[in-house]
Chain A
Amino acid sequence: MNDPMRSFYRVLLALYPSRFRERYAADLLQTFDDRRREARFSGLLGGLRLLFFLLTDFVVSMPMALERTDRSGGDGIMNDFLQDLRFSVRMLLKNPMFTVAAVVTLALGIGLNTATYTAVRNLLLAPLPGAEEPDRLVQMYRRWPGLEYGANSIPHYQDVRDRSGDVFENVAAWQFMPMALSADGRSERILGMVVSANFFQTYGVTPVHGRAFIPGEEDTGPGAHPVVVLGHSFWLTRFGGDPGAVGSSLVLNGDPYRIVGVAPPDFGGPMSVADTPLYVPIMMLGQIAPRIDLLEARGSNSFTTVGRLRDGATLERAEEVMASVLVQLREEYPSSYEEQLGTTLVLQSEAGIHPSFGSTQGAMSAVIMAVVGLLLLIACVNVANLFLARARDRRHEMGVRLSLGASRGRIVRQLLTESLMFALVAGVAGLGLAKLATGLLAGFRPPIDGPWRFDFSMDGSVLAFTFLVSVAAGVVFGMAPALQAARSDTVAAVKGEGGGTGGRSRTSSVLVMAQMALSLLLLISSGLFLRSLQSAMEIDPGFEDPSSLVMASFDPGLQGYEQEETQAFFDRIAEQVTALPEVSSVTYTNDVPLSLGSSDTSLDIPDYEFAENERRNAFYAMVREGYFETMGIELVEGRTYTRADDADGAPVLIVNQRFAERFWPGESAVGKTVNDRTVVGVVETGKYNSLGEDPAEFMYYPQRSAYRSEMTLVARTAGEPEAVLPRIREVVRANDPNLPIYDVRTMETHMGTALLPARLAGSVLGIFGLLGLTLAGVGIYGVMAYSVSQRRRELGIRVALGAERASVLKLVVGEGMRLAVVGAVIGLIAAFGATRLLQGLLYNVGATDPVAFVGVPAVLLSVAALAVYLPARRAASVDPNRVLKAE
């Protein structure tokens, strides 16, 4: 009979437990044949009905087949497993303290790994949420000497878009821009996005309501398309999710914009860490950023350009096309393209947060993954040790089971089932911990202004990761006790004897060394990072007494003020704030130090020859008179600015010392020319973007001749700085109630946010280090104490045979410490190797920092000494008669 249904049923039968199968297989098959002959189960349709019938029958009958109807031993591997599982649960409940200790230790290890994995995956590895086929998206950057990832100007973008159709379906451009949003007579500043008309098509995003911008129409005619597409969460919070919002309008920078669409909920914009509130077409740049003509300026690079590869087009092909586009452009606009070296293409999937963080973001996450991985290993060693100690207590039980005929394989399986159960319970607890940790992380806001959104949702891959980690952990810590149990001598075990006659077990020696080595590696690495952060925090920021400085930002240009009105407004506010009794001096800058985002510009210095590939850009800020005096930045040479340094005066510039020393070493910088301006002063070098940065060249332009409308007022106060903040707010509001005023804060708060990444990293590593130290301390104590206590019997005999207690003590402590020292040496060698790799990430600390390399081993070896001494003393002082009688 060649019935496929029958062959299928035979396969199904093989899945029943062997005892049930042996007894009933023939009858089952017989019944199948009988059924098959029935009219309803014959033919093709009947066969399908039978298939469904048999599958249901199989599932329903499995529990009955598994049921044990007699008491005579095993019933196939499934039944063994169920029995092991029942037994494991009983053991877990019987020793609640043990269970809690082991589960908490493991859950910490697993939870930290899951949280870190989630963060790394969502920030760096996940493709852009909401975008269609993100693998085909390519980010494009202009490459200059010393600048790998340069932004793009609008004219450049338009030429690239029009000339690269061979490889790209679409090329879009976008940039975040501040805008004043007015509603109910009040204005607020939001960070919206200016995008090319084909932006949504390029990312493959279809609005949930209304439409996207229309390519070919809404990317022509400057100022002709006051339309806006809303981000989904902005639409929910501001319009209550009303679809009728489409077609109504909102006011940006004083002009009405018609809402034409709403982006879908899963698309937060082109950066995965930001949630864009609204999108405006680039043709409206003249209204959004009136001060600069971005639509025309080929050299004003501020946009990110993204292309969608055509089907079958490769990155290599795109690079060739971009190279030939650059050759064309260089011929047409020689002055704009003379210095551009090429175009850097980065696949969206490999860009991370920003490609310029590239190696650092990868390396940092690798370090953190390695650190939490080590923590988990240490937790495993601890739990293995707990299990080992308990295995000793259960020696008798194991011995009895072995001598009653249980196979060693069966016992090993029982113990592994137990440890896997443990690991899975700990995995679930760890998942909870990870959820908690990522919840805290998602609330983190970086100190750079922006609509940040951190999405640390966990999906199947996180669950799979946690499951794998848990199972791996279960096997790692379950192996040692299981193997030891399998090796144990039945007779000795039943009689309740200690670890045989051979002294310590090899398993526990290995554990002592492993614990020591792993702990050292972990603590030295995180210790080095902490030292590095510590030295970064003690740095002089380059200006005086931050504790009495306050600041407030506003941009009259957003309210439609012309340049003259804006300057007059700044003067008026400065006057009125200076008049406040608590304020001693007032100034303006467009870039408060340590804001993390200084602008840079290309340098033109007549008497200096740039080498090929030499960095040609320098950071700059626009400041008003009184800046250096108010901030307390020391003047080294020349003069500072006055009100006379305006558009009518001679073009002047102030540079920092680092700048002067690089370009005119050994000479006076005053009188030299930079970018057609004459240097009139040199000030001390400070910190501009972060406290950890290397000294950088910096230029200060006088704002009165290098106009910017978005400025930050900085005031030095005499009294309580916090009290001055509302007074400044009142002054600005009294002059223009509609002008959005933002970032009103003390310099200390500002620096706090600048220090936030360092503090955050410091506290995370600090917590990891502390956790590691606790786990390591407890672990080393446990492992050592256990291995000494294993020798109680032997020590008792030695004392009974007349050995001096002191010499016994010395022997035990000596042996224990030898193991600890060997472990420490292994750990030191590993740490020495590992920290070489970290060198590039450390600031102002050598990779062989003596504090970390001497301090950490000293602490751990002391713990080890204590751990071996206390139980050894107890063992040596015990009455030999009692130890020997204890059998």
Chain B
Amino acid sequence: MSHDQALERILPLTSTTFHVLVSLAGGARHGYGIAQEVEELTDGTIVMGPGTLYGTLKRMLANELIAEAENPGDDGLHTERRRYYEITALGRSALSAESDRLLRAARVAQERLSS
């Protein structure tokens, strides 16, 4: 499957997937870290439970939007047991395409509201 075909199949992103990608665009994180950042990014509207978190990650891994990353090993307690995730090239393209789409939609909305 080519890069573009894969993109087409994935887009548009669900808002949970979108925010997970945004959090990972800032660097590799472990599961709980992702959940915390997503909650922050969305002002607490998306609070992911363990099942939803790993269900989403499992799906995103399968779609190759993210990949497992090396454990940086300096995260305090239990570090060796935590799995880290990072964004893939496909993930970056998907995130950029989705944010363009959202921007266009937002611009149209604001133009109409101000006119």
Contacts and interface: CB of A to CB of B under 8 A. Distances in A.
A64 interface: yes
Contact of A35 (B50, B55, B62, B83): B50
Interface string B25-51: 000000110010000000000011111
Please tell me the size bucket of the interface on B: 20 to 34
A64 B50 contact: no
B53 A31 contact: yes
B59 A64 contact: yes
A34 interface: yes
Interface in A64-96: 64-65, 67, 69-70
B58 to A, nearest CB: 6
B59 A28 contact: no
Contacts of B78: 30
Interface stretch (A19-27, A114-122, A851-859): A19-27
Nearest to A25: B54
Interface string A55-71: 01110111011010110
A35 B47 CA distance: 11
A52 B64 CA distance: 32
Nearest to A16: B51
A216 B78 CA distance: 82
A69 B59 contact: yes
B52 to A, nearest CB: 5
Contact of B51 (A26, A58, A70): A58
Contact of A24 (B32, B54, B81): B54
Contact of B32 (A26, A30, A56): A30
B49 A27 contact: no
Given A31-B35, A69-B62, A61 B81 contact: no
B82 interface: yes
Interface in A1-56: 16, 20, 23-24, 26-32, 34-35, 53-54, 56
Contacts of B35: 31
A64 B55 contact: yes
Given A64-B58, A64-B59, A67-B59, A31 B31 contact: yes
A35 B53 CA distance: 12
Contacts of A67: 58-59
A771 B49 CA distance: 58
A58 B58 CA distance: 15
A31 B50 contact: yes
Contact of B49 (A16, A30, A56, A69): A56
A848 B32 CA distance: 81
B56 interface: yes
Nearest to B35: A31
B73 to A, nearest CB: 16
Given A28-B54, A69-B58, A53 B49 contact: yes
A62 B49 CA distance: 12
Nearest to B49: A57
Nearest to B56: A64
Contacts of A16: 51
A64 B82 CA distance: 21
A54 to B, nearest CB: 6
A69 B64 CA distance: 11
Contacts of B54: 20, 24, 27-28, 31, 61
Contact of B52 (A34, A61, A70): A61
Contacts of B62: 69-70
Given A56-B49, A65-B51, A27 B58 contact: no
Contacts of A26: 81
Nearest to B33: A34
Nearest to B52: A61
B8 to A, nearest CB: 19
A23 B52 CA distance: 15
The listed residue with most A CB atoms (<10 A of its CB), out of B51, B55, B62, B82, is B51
A30 B51 contact: no
Nearest to A9: B50
The listed residue with most B CB atoms (<10 A of its CB), out of A23, A61, A67, A69, is A61
A205 B103 CA distance: 68
A863 B81 CA distance: 74
B82 to A, nearest CB: 7
A38 to B, nearest CB: 9
A31 B32 contact: yes
B32 A65 contact: no
Given A32-B50, A35-B50, A27 B31 contact: yes
Contacts of A60: 49, 51-52
Interface in A261-313: none
A16 B55 CA distance: 11
A53 B32 CA distance: 15
A32 B48 CA distance: 11
Nearest to A55: B49
Contacts of B31: 27, 30-31
A78 to B, nearest CB: 15
Contacts of B50: 27-29, 31-32, 35, 54, 57
Nearest to A19: B58
Contacts of B81: 26, 30
B49 A61 contact: yes
A20 B58 CA distance: 9
A30 B79 CA distance: 11
Interface string B75-115: 00010011100000000000000000000000000000000
Given A26-B81, A30-B78, A57 B51 contact: yes
Contacts of A35: 32, 49-50
A27 B55 contact: no
Contacts of A29: 50
A28 B48 CA distance: 12
5 closest A-B pairs by beta carbon, nearest first, are A57-B49, A64-B55, A61-B51, A69-B62, A61-B55
Given A20-B54, A30-B78, 9 more contacts: A27-B50, A31-B35, A35-B32, A57-B51, A64-B58, A64-B59, A69-B58, A69-B59, A70-B62
17 contacts: A20-B58, A27-B31, A27-B50, A27-B54, A27-B82, A28-B50, A29-B50, A30-B32, A30-B81, A35-B49, A61-B52, A61-B54, A64-B51, A64-B58, A64-B59, A65-B55, A69-B62
Interface of A: 16, 20, 23-24, 26-32, 34-35, 53-54, 56-58, 60-62, 64-65, 67, 69-70
